[in-house]
Amino acid sequence: MYFVANWKMFGDLRTLNLLDKVIKFSKTNKKHKFKIVYCPPNTLIRPLSRRLKKTKIEVGAQNCHHSYEYGAHTGQVNSSMLKNVGAKYVILGHSENRQLGETDNLINLKIKSAIKSGLKIIFCIGETLKERRTKKTNQVLKRQIEKGLKSIKNKSKIIIAYEPVWSIGTGVIPKEAALIQAISFIKSRFVKKYPKILYGGSVNANNADKLKKIPNIDGFLIGGASQSPKKFIDIIQKTII
């Protein structure tokens, strides 16, 4: 099981002290198979990777520029730069970035760049509430997968994160039947080996028990709750124990 912590715009050097409890938890629960990945802001990738050097916890980034080469892109960071400072994963296609104007085609270029850099990609897809209500969920997921992964033959570094936009930060998660249907549909879009599929959107210790029973969910992408060591550990415990 994957537990990916998306810290979003949160944290400074003092925040790294929050990791101590999670590090201790991961070391004392070695008999259970699970992987923790922290995706902090770019400013914390290097110090976080150093802090976690002697642990099995890995580090990722939250986004990257689409160009693999250096260039005149003020304020931007590309995938090779992220790899250089310790990132092993990168979240791409998150709904918050899509809402800022990221298109499926741009996300496709970012994924290709990240693969070239040797990063593993956590590729976010999901429908809005309006799309859900108008029964366009499958149509939206199909478009996001096909355009986002266009011309990418080797998908071994791709992890899919299904995040219904209407669930993020709202405290509302999809009903069991709807979630099973969405996960099954995502799997159906891959002819050969299925990618790992994570669920994201208001994951907490209270619903982790319910979510872990959904077939074919390989872990969770966790936002706000991952900023609290106790809440994050509670989610992991409820899922693996």
Segment holding 215, helix H or strand E: none
Residue type for position 67: S
User: Is the model's pLDDT at 193 over the cut of 90?
Assistant: no
Q: Give every CB contact of residue 204 below 8 A, 6+ residues apart in sequence.
A: 225, 231, 235
pLDDT of residue 66: 98
The residue whose two tokens read 């099981």 is 1
Assess whether 94 carries a catalytic annotation: yes
pLDDT of residue 227: 97
The whole domain housing 114 covers: 2-240
d(CA 173, CA 169): 10
User: Is the model's pLDDT at 31 over the cut of 90?
Assistant: no
Assess whether 163 carries a catalytic annotation: yes
Query: Domain total for the chain?
Result: 1
User: Is the model's pLDDT at 42 over the cut of 80?
Assistant: yes
Write down the catalytic residue from 58, 94, 102, 127: 94
Write down the catalytic residue from 58, 127, 131, 163: 163
Quick: pLDDT tens for 223-235. Answer: 999 999 999 999 9
Read off the pLDDT of each residue in 72-81 and give the average, rounded to a whole number: 98
User: Is the model's pLDDT at 192 over the cut of 80?
Assistant: no
User: Is the model's pLDDT at 221 over the cut of 80?
Assistant: yes
Read off the pLDDT of each residue in 89-96 and give the average, rounded to a whole number: 98
d(CA 86, CA 77): 13
More confident residue, 193 or 187: 187
CA distances from 226 to 37, 138, 207, 223 (A): 10, 29, 15, 6
pLDDT of residue 99: 96
- Which CATH number is 200's domain given? 3.20.20.70
* Confidence label for 154 from pLDDT (cuts 50, 70 and 90): confident
* Confidence label for 138 from pLDDT (cuts 50, 70 and 90): very high
In contact, 92 and 111? CB cutoff 8 Å = yes
Q: Give every CB contact of residue 62 below 8 A, 6+ residues apart in sequence.
A: 6, 7, 8, 39, 40, 41, 42, 90, 91, 94
Q: Give the max Cα distance, the chain.
A: 49
